Structure 1
Amino acid sequence: MHKLRAWFATRAGQELAERESRLLSRRLAGLYARRVLQVGAYGGGRCPTVYGDARQWVLDDWPGGPIDLQAQSEVLPLASSSVDVVVLIHQLEFTDRPHQVIREAARVLAPEGHMLVMGFNPLSLWGLRRLMAPKGAQPPWGGRYLGPWRVADWMQLLGLTPRPHEGLALLPPVPDRLRRRQAPSRVVYGQSLGAGLRWLAGVNLVMGQKRVGGVAPPAARWHQRLELIPGGLTEAGARHARRDQWHDAG
């Protein structure tokens, strides 16, 4: 994942991160999202995504990075049902255990909570570019892309109800060395794609809601504390975690 973060630090990667963040912010604006866990950090800075008034924690296996929790996405150091939104930033394509990653995300998600999965689409020009890349190519071309239909199937198996996915980035990025300095980002990535083109989008956002009958209303269910599993954080992760975000204010 550190190589993907390096790509996000390039001009092309920064532009995609900005587009993804805008799409995430629009979708999160309509959700009950007091406690948001973002799994996977963008490259150069902490994270460009804005979640309004929600309290946000960024988790990544990034020693010394601009994150709140250092841990692997396959084993989240959080109690079950402890957050109401989980956002996976390109986590399924660059792991040998994608099933485990999405299973862990579903575990920490509270009843009626939402999971948002951002990923590269194999049936796209991005996917074609990946197939043409040599073996061992650097991210974003070295991953195992998963179609939105497969991610939605996995969500259903875990008790989540998928929503129609959304797409971004019809065209693959132009390498930094070949681009005009003043080229606008919309030429590369464009706006969110409509229903007719989203199946060909290079990047998909798949959403699902954890449906459980008889749950308590959100206001009665949540407290201003993130429930960590004792011993679940690495020493570095505990050092970089923000203490005031684990405890109730005041």
Structure 2
Amino acid sequence: MDLKHSPEKRFHQASCADCLRGWYAGPQGRRVREALGREIRQRRPLHFGDSLLELAPVELVHGEWARMAWILRIGSEQAPLRTEIDRLPLSGKSFECVVLAHAGHLTEDVEPLVMEAARVLAPEGYLFLLDTTACADSGQSRWSPALPAGLWRRQYLRRLESAGLRVRRQQALSVLPAGLPGSWLRLLGRGDVLAAPWLPLLGSCVLTIAQRRETIPLTPRARWRRARMPVRAAGSSQWA
């Protein structure tokens, strides 16, 4: 179903996108986006022939991060594919990297969206789940409370595990409140970078990195056996 059949969702996404676009233009949002890019390049370097899926109200993934890989964006106004966010018309296990950012602003029920992101993730692929308290008042989503993002990461742990993903790391990218003036964010930026890894439960922006691990059946290791020489019934060797 296209979004034109649900105008209330389209209006909600547009208001969230405007708020998030302004936040990412500020000093705190720029640092968060740079940190996300570093993690993607380190965890899952993309090469020619690979594919990346971005599910976000705004465009986050920079073309330089993916190099020659194919990028598909869903959720933003500039996305080439308009579809219901929790029913993606994509084949399973087809993307080496999936970026799911601000899921609470995309839909009221996050769990089906996480399940869809896990379904299209290729074996050994990575899912980058980004959550922040920025623009929490722009929507009525029950998954976007005005609390530190780190305080509700257990909910996402359960969702990811139920989707067959293995959480590799959870880290806070920022602990400063998103509503601080830009002058304060620039002044406290260096301290925010140093303190965020040590205060994950107080993080206002938390990144969860999960991986799809395929279970490969292992064949039993063949035991080394000493070759025995055939022996005749009389007890002497055939070469005797």
Sort the TM-score into its range (normalised by shorter chain): 0.5 to 0.7
Query: Structure 1 CA distance, aligned partners of 2:194 and 2:71?
Result: 24
Aligned partner of 1:98 in structure 2 is 110
TM-fit CA distance, 1:94 = 4.9
Q: 1:193 to 1:39 in 2, by over 3 A?
A: farther
Aligned partner of 1:214 in structure 2 is 216
User: What stretches of structure 2 of length at least 5 have no aligned partner?
Assistant: 1-12, 218-240
Given that residues 104 and 141 in structure 2 are in contact (C-alpha distance below 8 angstroms), is that contact kept between their aligned partners in structure 1?
A: no
Query: Structure 1 CA distance, aligned partners of 2:172 and 2:105?
Result: 16
Given that residues 41 and 47 in structure 1 are in contact (C-alpha distance below 8 angstroms), is that contact kept between their aligned partners in structure 2?
A: no
Aligned partner of 1:238 in structure 2 is none
Write 1 or 2 for the structure with the bigger share of helix. Answer: 2
Given that residues 173 and 203 in structure 2 are in contact (C-alpha distance below 8 angstroms), is that contact kept between their aligned partners in structure 1?
A: yes
Aligned partner of 1:231 in structure 2 is none
Query: Structure 2 CA distance, aligned partners of 1:202 and 1:154?
Result: 20
Q: 1:116 to 1:93 in 2, by over 3 A?
A: same
Which residue identity does 2:53 align to in structure 1? L
Matches within 5 A, 1:1-250: 1-10=13-22, 12-15=23-26, 16-30=28-42, 31-33=44-46, 34-42=50-58, 46-47=59-60, 49=62, 50-53=64-67, 54-60=69-75, 62=76, 65-92=77-104, 94-120=106-132, 137-139=137-139, 144-145=144-145, 147-174=152-179, 185=186, 187=188, 190-191=192-193, 193-214=195-216
Which residue identity does 1:138 align to in structure 2? S
Given that residues 4 and 140 in structure 1 are in contact (C-alpha distance below 8 angstroms), is that contact kept between their aligned partners in structure 2?
A: no
User: What stretches of structure 1 of length at least 5 have no aligned partner?
Assistant: 131-136, 216-250
Given that residues 107 and 141 in structure 2 are in contact (C-alpha distance below 8 angstroms), is that contact kept between their aligned partners in structure 1?
A: no
| Residue correspondences, number | 192
Q: 1:13 to 1:141 in 2, by over 3 A?
A: farther
Structure 2 SS opposite 1:172: coil
Query: Structure 2 CA distance, aligned partners of 1:86 and 1:48?
Result: 10
TM-fit CA distance, 1:153 = 1.8
Q: 1:186 to 1:196 in 2, by over 3 A?
A: same
TM-score normalized by structure 2?
A: 0.68
TM-fit CA distance, 1:140 = 9.6
Given that residues 166 and 204 in structure 1 are in contact (C-alpha distance below 8 angstroms), is that contact kept between their aligned partners in structure 2?
A: yes
> Which digits, 9 at most, give the CA deviation of each residue in 1:111-159, with x for residues without a partner?
11111100136xxxx7xx96xxxxxx42599852462222122111111
Q: 1:140 to 1:179 in 2, by over 3 A?
A: farther
Instruction: Say which one has the larger Rg.
Output: 2
Which residue identity does 2:170 align to in structure 1? H
TM-fit CA distance, 1:194 = 4.5
TM-fit CA distance, 1:184 = 5.8
Query: Structure 2 CA distance, aligned partners of 1:154 and 1:73?
Result: 17
Quote the RMSD (CA, aligned, Å).
3.1
Structure 2 SS opposite 1:92: helix
TM-fit CA distance, 1:28 = 1.0
Query: Percent same amino acid among aligned pairs?
Result: 19
